[in-house]
Structure 1
Amino acid sequence: MLIGEVARRSGVSARMLRHYDALGLVRPTGRTTGGYREYSAEDVRRIFHVESLRSLGLSLKQIGRALEDPAFTPAALVSDLIRWTEDRLERERELLERLHAIDASAPAGWQDVLRVVELMQGLNSTSAARRQQTVLAGPDSGSAPAELLAGAVLTESDPNVAGALRWALARSGGDGMATLAAGVRSQDVAVRRRAVIAIAGMPEAPGTTAALADVLADPDATVRGHAALALGRRGVSAAVPALVRMVVEGLNDVDAAEVLGTLSQDPARADRILTALADELARPTADSASRIRITQALLELPGTTARDTLRRLAHDDDPAVALIASAFSGVLDDRSREAREGEDG
């Protein structure tokens, strides 16, 4: 076949075929009487071999070695190709993220683009001080892309920089929830913790409550705890079981007890919370420390029911529980008396 026919059948341009010939990669085995290149069936097969190896990312020099050197083994080269490809994909992924961040900022001109690029470069600095300075000295409220800030929150390990990022995200006026919601589903527990703390600190907006509720069953107690406290402060009843467990297990138990007290201002929830705490007190497996924390939590609950429970606990078999319950029962009695005197006055 002449070069034009080979080009049509193989999809390789005549110009590239001449280049292969010049390199000695695929040389036609014959010539016509007029001096034109004439390719045999074996030559065409070699062209397809070359194109197959090119599709894997091999250079023409590497392809020549692979086809000519019997001792040339693919294992090491393929490993190198995998590494180079992974590096290239990572660079392209980072480029795509930068482009998305710029697009999300809706730049009005190239100065806006340059400001966002400067922000990204600062956030990628190896210096925590520079990253924090970049956030605090960043664009005015509403100018920093929320998705960029949310992504930085998920990767930031320095607590001071992370706090600055959460502050900037909360005041950005944008919507970084898609990124944060993906963070709470991460396999990396550190990322989930950063995500839930950031969501908990954001203004109540569509998606935040749902994202927090989704992690109430998270296997990590810290993630569950942050979500439960945030939901409880927003008046979400679904947080009650997790808050009670926090009291029992001693994980931010003081904060959890305060939130349970606030939720108990609603009579419909007060009985449920008291019952949950009483059930934990009655568990045979409950140790002394847990029962003391539960007793302390009862002080936060309003109404006479908690006071009655404390009075019963004042006679508990555990001396420490009985002592604390007796003291707290007296505190609640004093509160009730002061409230009555205030009404009479």
Structure 2
Amino acid sequence: MIKLSVLDLVTVRETGTVGEALADTAALAQVAEAAGYNRFWVAEHHAMDGVAGGATSVVLAHVGAATRTIRIGAGGIMLPNHNPFVIAEQFGTLDALYPGRIDLGLGRAPGADMRIAQALRKDLARVSEYFPQDVVELRALFTGEPELPIRATPGWGAQVEMWILGSSLFGAQLAAALGLPYAFASHFAPDYLDQALELYRKQFRPSAALEQPHVMAAMTVIAADTDEEAQLLGTSMDQSFVALRTGNPGRLKPPVPGYRQTLPPSQLAMLEHMRQASAVGSPVTVARELAKFVERTQADEIIVSGATYDPAARRRSLELTMKALV
């Protein structure tokens, strides 16, 4: 059976609080661990009222304290927003707290607009150009190869598993060149999925970290007892995607029966396009769609995303998804 992992955005509900979102994330990680998921990742986003994972390493410390065995990590840290030395210290600290469990997925897109760039004191257009160099420097801060003039403490010697994230061909090329595992964000940007995975596998160079190419692909997955129930639960995410793409992001809204029938053709087409990498339905439907996606991608792992307004529905979705594949 293919390995399954979880991607969480620490979603804030319309009637909820950040504190509740953080508690829900810890509870979700506990369910994922009990169900047998391989990893639990949190993504970095900034200044979004409905997403509370901006201080990603702090959230991961919270998740680590609530769990015992599941790997936890960033999916990902947007490195242009940060200094590699500080990230080495943060994730070195996490490795010291939860040894053998820490993943560090690195993305090149800043995930921020110019207001955030100003708040971070970053020229994001310029620092993105240095992403490959920063990844190499960060790896050296963990491994000591090549040796740098200064050591990060904590950080040096930490057994952090580094990944490259991507939604285009750039990340695939970098992951291949550095011999690192590669995760593709097909749950929201499916266009280059097949090309990127082919390029990564073709150009992969073995490294001390990884002998063979290793791919994880992302899917939106919402499982419920029936197709109709799952599709209704999925309308909360549909509303969030439409709000984001129309410049009006906000907190996660309750499900709306018949929501898609209310949309203009352009917005409906956008949702259908993103649902290329999705499995929304009963356990039978989810198992079928996951199998088709694995056959298409030949992925080594699948990471499932997908928020629901009721946190209990997401926890049950994870349980149903895993049981469907056993």
TM-score by length of 2: 0.24
TM-score, length-scaled by structure 1: 0.23
Of structures 1 and 2, the larger Rg is shown by 1
Which protein has the bigger helix share? 1
Task: Name the structure where strand makes up a greater proportion of residues.
Answer: 2
Larger relative contact order (C-alpha < 8 A, sep ≥ 6)?
Answer: 2
